[in-house]
């Protein structure tokens, strides 16, 4: 039978093993300046962040203001260092040393307010917290630190407000070399579209190199104000409430905060409901947020082929193709487009398939949908055409990309978005479209470094040829009936995936 001491030791061991149990016992400072146990106010969303940090070595946390996620990241780093039986070299980084030291003070508060049974000997100085028994060190560092500091080796690093570092990309490269196989956490509010953090987030959709955590402001209870009985929503607010399932108290908080900030774009950046809001497009982008207002986003995984709708004999299809080299860089993309919806029925995308294998797979997909293949003949397109010719495939249209023709297909794509002819797109294609920026010399839009446009090209080429195909008569008759019956610009159509609203 275990003694009371043995039982206490066993209970303490369980607390040390589980970061959530340990962190709930830490003391934090509330907004009112009171010291309280984290467990009294911790939310399910904060717990989910802790579990993600426990599971992944490369983590990005994109947050709204004042959601307590910086404190969560510090709490996890403190647990990791404090409970490790071996030496841990952990660093907290901010753009300036003063703010990094302030964040390290959170760790010092954790230590100083630990229950007596959990405390251990330490030494403290302004920028360091050290545990001699394990030679573990928690330190503060500026993102502007000199080469001496950057030459150190760390087991874990937390870069706070990473998006606002002066030279974020170069700093991250240096940090990753210093941490190597250890844990790196980039925690930040969004800064601007195409910045260093945004590029990493977008790349993570393709290669999964980082685990991205995004929590909307609506997931935290403090963003709520009890509304007066007279409070009503305007039409735009009603759409937002319905889309994001917000309460009247959340909508009242939103209106008050928006009135305080007085800038809708700044509000969305500081308090986003989606990643798209966090990185809202600017006038520099070729496509604006309004272009995607009526486009449903479909989330896809990392599969080589994603099928959204099966072949419909009453519909017409084309396959838009952009051919890559198959060297794990640019993707080869074949996008089957439906005339009825103006949207992908299926997408084949790979940066590993050889041109030969990709061409054969594209022909098989086109055969399934009885579709004509429309492809960019430039560069790798010649090899793509040779494989089709060798297989006696004749149903194709080559597209020669020039400065003028590329502008034309993108203008056509934008017009189709303006007119609401595209019902839905997958999230990766939407990400690429949002990344396109205007060329400073008036040429076709380009993608910034670190972004892709393979799906954009496949979509634009496919739509260029799809516009010349007649709408199937059965669908055309139904569209005419709906248009006559409904004089509004917004109509509802029944789609194989779901009911969607779009503009005509």
Per-residue pLDDT at 491? 37
**What is the structure's pLDDT at 65?**
77
> How many angstroms separate the Cα of 404 from the Cα of each of 167, 285, 447, 458?
36, 19, 17, 17
What share of the chain has pLDDT > 70, as a percent?
87
The C-alpha angle 485, 487, 489, rounded to 5 degrees, equals: 125
> Any idea which of 163-177, 304-318, 332-346, 431-445 has the lowest mean pLDDT?
431-445
- Find, among 364, 335, 483, 481, the residue nearest to 422 by Cα: 335
Q: Which of 43-57, 122-136, 487-501 has the lowest mean pLDDT?
A: 487-501
Of residues 485 and 123, more confidence is placed in 123
- Identify the CA nearest to 378 among candidates 405, 417, 357: 405
Percentage of residues in the chain having pLDDT higher than 90: 50
Looking at residues 476-481, what average pLDDT do you find?
Answer: 54
Matching fold, domains 4-215 and 289-503: no
pLDDT value for 187: 93
- 284 or 385, greater pLDDT: 385
Residue 436: partners with Cβ closer than 8 Å, 6 or more residues away: 285, 286, 287, 410, 445, 446, 447, 453, 456
Contact 298, 497 (CB under 8 A): yes
Mean pLDDT value across the chain: 85
pLDDT tier at 486 (50, 70, 90 boundaries)? very low
Q: How sure is the predictor about 5, in pLDDT bands with cuts at 50, 70 and 90?
A: low
Do 501 and 492 touch, CB atoms closer than 8 A? yes
Mean pLDDT for 460-477 is 81
pLDDT tens-place string over residues 370-384: 999 999 988 899 999
Burial 139-170 (b: 16+ CB within 10 A, else e): bbbbbebeeeeeeeebbbbbbbbbbbbeebee
As a whole number of angstroms, the distance between CA 354 and CA 61 comes to 36
User: Which residues fall within 8 angstroms of residue 279, CB to CB, at 6 or more apart?
Assistant: 190, 192, 193, 198, 269, 434
Q: Inform me whether the pLDDT recorded for 150 exceeds 80.
A: no
Give the tens place of pLDDT for each residue, 90-135.
999 998 899 999 999 999 999 999 877 778 888 988 899 999 999 9
Tens-place pLDDT, residues 334-382: 999 999 999 999 999 998 899 999 999 999 999 999 999 999 988 899 9
Greater confidence (193 vs 85) lies with 85
User: Which residue did the predictor score with more confidence, 302 or 196?
Assistant: 196
* pLDDT score of 356: 94
With CA atoms as reference, report the closest residue to 127 among 110, 146, 144, 142: 142
pLDDT on residue 492: 38
Give the model's pLDDT for residue 474: 61
* Tens digits of residue pLDDT in 171-229: 999 899 989 889 999 999 888 777 889 888 888 877 778 999 998 899 888 899 999 99
Say how far apart CA 74 and CA 53 lie, in whole Å.
11
∠ CA(459), CA(465), CA(468), 5° rounding?
Answer: 135
Confidence at residue 135, expressed as pLDDT on a 0 to 100 scale: 92
Among the residue ranges 33-42, 109-118, 371-380, 392-401, the one predicted with the least confidence is 109-118
Q: Kindly tell me if the per-residue pLDDT of 169 is higher than 50.
A: yes
pLDDT above 60 (res 68):
yes
The domain defined by 4-215 folds into Rossmann fold (3.40.50)
The answer to whether domain 289-503 has CATH 3.30.420.240 is yes
pLDDT at residue 152, rounded to an integer: 73
More confident: 284 or 16: 16
At residue 209, the pLDDT reads 85
For the chain, which residues make up each domain, given as ranges? 4-215, 219-278, 289-503
pLDDT of 464 > 90? The answer is: yes
User: Is the predicted pLDDT of residue 463 greater than 90, yes or no?
Assistant: yes
Where is average pLDDT lowest: 227-241, 330-344, 442-456? Answer: 442-456
The Cα–Cα gap between 173 and 155 comes to 16
- The confidence score (pLDDT) of residue 107 equals 94
Give residue 501's pLDDT band: very low, low, confident or very high (50, 70, 90). Answer: very low
pLDDT band for position 4 (50/70/90)? Answer: low
Range 265-281 average pLDDT: 81
Q: Which of these, 390, 394, 395, 412, lies nearest to 461 by C-alpha position?
A: 412
Query: Residue 146: pLDDT band by 50, 70, 90 thresholds?
Result: very low
For residue 327, with 0-12 CB atoms within 10 Å meaning exposed, 13-18 middle and 19 or more buried, which class applies?
exposed
Q: How confident is the model at residue 283 (pLDDT cuts 50, 70, 90)?
A: low
């Amino acid at each position: 039978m275990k003694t009371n001491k043995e039982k206490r030791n066993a209970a303490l061991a369980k607390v040390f093993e589980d970061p959530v149990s340990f962190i709930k016992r830490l003391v934090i400072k509330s907004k009112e300046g009171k010291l309280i146990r984290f467990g009294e106010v911790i939310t399910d969303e904060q717990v989910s962040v802790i579990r993600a940090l426990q599971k992944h070595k490369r983590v990005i946390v994109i947050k709204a203001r004042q959601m307590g996620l910086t404190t969560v990241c510090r709490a996890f780093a403190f647990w990791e260092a404090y409970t490790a039986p071996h030496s841990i070299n952990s660093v907290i980084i901010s753009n300036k040393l003063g703010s990094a030291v302030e964040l390290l003070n959170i760790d010092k508060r954790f230590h100083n307010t630990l229950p007596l049974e959990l405390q251990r000997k330490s030494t403290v100085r302004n920028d360091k917290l050290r545990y001699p028994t394990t030679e573990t060190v928690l330190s503060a560092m500026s993102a502007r630190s000199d080469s001496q500091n950057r030459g150190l080796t760390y087991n874990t690093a937390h870069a706070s407000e990473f998006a606002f570092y002066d030279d974020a990309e170069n700093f991250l490269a240096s940090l990753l070399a210093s941490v190597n196989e250890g844990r790196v956490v980039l925690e930040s509010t969004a800064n601007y579209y195409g910045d260093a953090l945004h590029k990493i987030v977008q790349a993570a959709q393709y290669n999964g190199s980082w685990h991205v955590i995004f929590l909307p402001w609506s997931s935290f209870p403090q963003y709520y104000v009890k509304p007066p009985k007279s409070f009503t929503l305007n039409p735009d607010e009603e759409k937002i409430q319905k889309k994001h399932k917000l309460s009247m108290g959340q909508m009242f908080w939103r209106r008050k905060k928006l009135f305080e900030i007085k800038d809708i774009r700044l509000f969305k950046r500081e308090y986003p409901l989606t990643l798209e809001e966090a990185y809202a497009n600017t006038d520099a982008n070729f496509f604006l947020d309004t272009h995607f207002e009526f486009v449903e986003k479909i989330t896809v995984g990392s599969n080589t082929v994603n099928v959204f709708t099966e072949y419909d004999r009453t519909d017409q299809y084309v396959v838009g193709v952009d051919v890559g080299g198959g060297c794990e860089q640019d993707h080869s993309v074949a996008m089957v487009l439906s005339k009825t919806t103006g949207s992908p029925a299926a997408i084949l995308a790979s940066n590993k398939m050889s041109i030969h294998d990709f061409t054969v797979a594209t022909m098989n997909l086109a055969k399934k949908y009885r579709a004509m293949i429309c492809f960019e003949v430039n560069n790798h397109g010649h090899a793509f055409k040779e494989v089709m010719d060798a297989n006696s495939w004749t149903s194709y249209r080559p597209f020669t990309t020039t400065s003028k023709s590329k502008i034309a297909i993108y203008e056509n794509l934008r017009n189709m978005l303006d007119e609401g002819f595209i019902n839905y797109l997958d999230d990766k294609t939407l990400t690429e479209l949002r990344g396109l920026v205007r060329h400073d010399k008036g040429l076709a839009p380009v993608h910034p470094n670190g972004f892709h446009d393979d799906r954009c090209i496949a979509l634009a080429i496919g739509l260029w040829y799809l516009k010349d195909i007649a709408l199937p008569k059965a669908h055309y008759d139904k569209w005419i009936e709906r248009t006559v019956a409904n004089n509004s610009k917004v109509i509802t159509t029944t789609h194989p995936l779901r009911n969607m609203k779009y503009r005509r």
